[in-house]
Amino acid sequence: MVIPAKKEKAEKVYLIVHKNITEENYSIHTKYYTEIQRKLKAAKIETELVYCDWQNVEEITRVARDLILKEADSEIAINLASGSKNHAIGLDRACMTVRKRENIHPFYPEAKKWNAGKYPHQQSEGVKRIKQVPIHRIIVPEPELIEALKIIERDAVDIPTRKGRKGVKKKDLAKALYGDSSKVNLTKLQRNITGTLKKTWRAIDWVPVGQSDWIYLTDEGKYLRYVLKNEETY
């Protein structure tokens, strides 16, 4: 981790640290990342600890994506080999979900030597070479679709007769997006927003209750809202 940071001439390194460390392993984990911090500090490289659940790929993806958006004006090098398989998957996914990718440079440092020890003991030594990894973009919903998902999540209330299900009335979503729930806007909502979110993204569904259609997030919709919580502003 330290050698690639030096080779990439990093000014700052974000260290993603497990937030659910057991008391039994706390001192071992702390010793591991503080040693990395010490070596990076000696190389005049700033560090910042960022906590997340290593077992949760979605959380790693979101945390990494938020860091990419935070550093959007910088050149960003992402080490795909410095953590677990979950880290590699989450970091790679995060790279794929942003539209502006010219400044993002995921890489894989090929080790000179592999050791038999298990984490948190160092498993590799040296860097033979650094391989740049191309980014294959994941298509994410358009901004107006993300805005609709945000409104559904934000304004959701208990759906009558649907115990445990929360959602919004279709007409209320139209009001939030277009200012009123006229017939024209309801048609526009169906054509441009809800139809696409349901058929293409499987992010929403709806149920009729009385004279109203109630829209709610599916599991896929909740996942999209979780990972894409912070929006691109460029």
With beta carbons less than 8 A apart as the criterion, state whether 125 and 197 touch: no
Tens-place pLDDT, residues 161-176: 888 899 999 999 999 9
Helices (H), 156-230: 170-178, 183-189, 195-199, 219-227
- With a CB cutoff of 8 Å and minimum separation 6, the contacts of 138 are 93, 96, 97
- Amino acid at the residue 92: D
Contact 61/97 with Cβ under 8 angstroms? yes
pLDDT at residue 234 in the model: 46
Domain ranges of the chain: 2-132, 143-227
What does the pLDDT read at residue 120?
Answer: 55
Q: Measured between alpha carbons, how far is residue 31 from residues 37, 41, 69, 82 in Å?
A: 10, 15, 30, 16
Answer with the residue of higher pLDDT: 88 or 7: 88
Q: Which CATH architecture fits 143-227?
A: Orthogonal Bundle (1.10)
Is the pLDDT at 4 greater than 90? The verdict is no
Question: Is it the case that residue 178 has pLDDT exceeding 60?
Answer: yes
Give me the architecture of the 2-132 domain, per CATH: 3-Layer(aba) Sandwich (3.40)
Residue 188 neighbours by CB distance under 10 Å: 14
Q: What stretch of H or E contains 42?
A: helix 26-42
Q: Where does the pLDDT of residue 84 fall: very low under 50, low under 70, confident under 90, or very high at 90 and above? A: confident
Condensed to tens digits (0 to 9), the pLDDT of residues 179-211 reads 999 999 999 999 999 999 999 999 999 999 999
User: Do the strands 104-114 and 76-79 form a parallel or antiparallel pair, or are they unpaired?
Assistant: parallel
Picking from 52, 67, 60, 56, the residue whose alpha carbon sits closest to that of residue 98 is 67
